Amino acid sequence: MNNAPIAVFDSGQGGLSVWSELYRGLPHESLLYYGDGKNCPYGNQSKEQVTEYVDYAVRRMLEAGAKMVVIACNTATAAAIDYLRASYPVPFVGLEPAVKPAALTSRSGVIGILATAGSLKGHLFQTTAHKYADRVRIIEQVGEGFVELVENNQENSPEAYETVVRLLKPMLDAGADRIVLGCTHYPFLADTMRKVIGDRDVQLINPAPAIERRVASLLEQYALTADVDHKPEYTFMTSADDVYLARLIAKSEQAKALVSAGNAAIFR
């Protein structure tokens, strides 16, 4: 048993799509969220630079007592997960675009992958894509502009709609019936994407529920599960300023409710 927090890291607010699943599925676990708002977006930055940012954040989260770290950012995972696992003694959970469930369930034989440039270049994605390449046709698309729209609360704006139309059109025209949300910011655009998809038989694949199951199983495996009567604590941290942190918290209904009820700590 271990009542220390699980750390959830993202370049910004996107990791809240994973945080929400952990909050829902692991009600006894304390959660510590860190959004690197000062350095977001990561998507077009070098592997070395991203590794440096992530390393700094991970050190802060471990100093705060984290027992496990979820890198709720595909780009950060692609850049730094090997380094992190080799450098720190806690279990790490990383994210990579969910090619496998898309490839195994596609009926049209065409799947679309939306992710950042950094994730699509990474060896995790390249290896997985290669593995399924003879089963499905994979259409890769960098979600250019998506992270900025989400960070600026513009996911339901006309600009978001136009951007989604432009980026999804090639995969929809090619007959993709599965679209992988390979960046944790993208689930926040799911409503706009569904509008663009209309009545086509296309499923969006968000890996967050699978990540929650993975975390639950690793907690068991490492005997790190919190006590059933543990009252969880929720903490939100950022490298950016208080205005950013307030926006980050407002992004998640659950986080907002926790903070306004005085049930979450916030610090910079």
Site string for ligand DGL, 69-98 (x = CB under 6 A): ----xxx-----------------------
225 binds ligand DGL (CB under 6 A): no
Among 3, 6, 10, 179, the residue binding ligand DGL under the rule CB under 6 A is: 10
Q: Cβ 55 to ligand DGL, closest distance in Å?
A: 16
Q: Mark the segment that binds ligand DGL (CB under 6 A) among 178-186, 209-217, 226-234, 250-258.
A: 178-186
Q: Cβ 78 to ligand DGL, closest distance in Å?
A: 8
- Give the residue with the Cβ less far from ligand DGL, 20 or 184: 184
DSSP-derived letter for residue 66 is -
185 binds ligand DGL (CB under 6 A): yes
Among 3, 6, 14, 21, the residue binding ligand DGL under the rule CB under 6 A is: 14
Longest Cα–Cα distance in the chain = 52
Other beta carbons within 10 angstroms of residue 220's beta carbon come to 10
The catalytically annotated residue of 50, 73, 167, 249 is 73
The catalytically annotated residue of 50, 176, 180, 183 is 183
To the query of whether residue 73 is one of the catalytic residues in this protein, the response is yes
Query: Would strands 31-35 and 234-238 be described as parallel, antiparallel, or unpaired?
Result: parallel
140 binds ligand DGL (CB under 6 A): no
208 binds ligand DGL (CB under 6 A): no
- Give the residue with the Cβ less far from ligand DGL, 183 or 259: 183
Residues found in the chain: 268
* Sheet with 264-267, edge to edge strand ranges: 92-94, 68-71, 6-10, 31-35, 234-238, 264-267
All residues at 6 or more sequence positions from 223 whose CB lies less than 8 Å from its CB, including other chains: 1, 2
Q: What is the 3-state secondary structure (H, E, C) of 90-157?
A: CCEEECCCCHHHHHHHCCCCEEEEEECHHHHHCHHHHHHHHHHCCCCEEEEEECCCHHHHHHCCCCCC
147 binds ligand DGL (CB under 6 A): yes
To the query of whether residue 183 is one of the catalytic residues in this protein, the response is yes
Which active-site residues does the annotation give? 73, 183
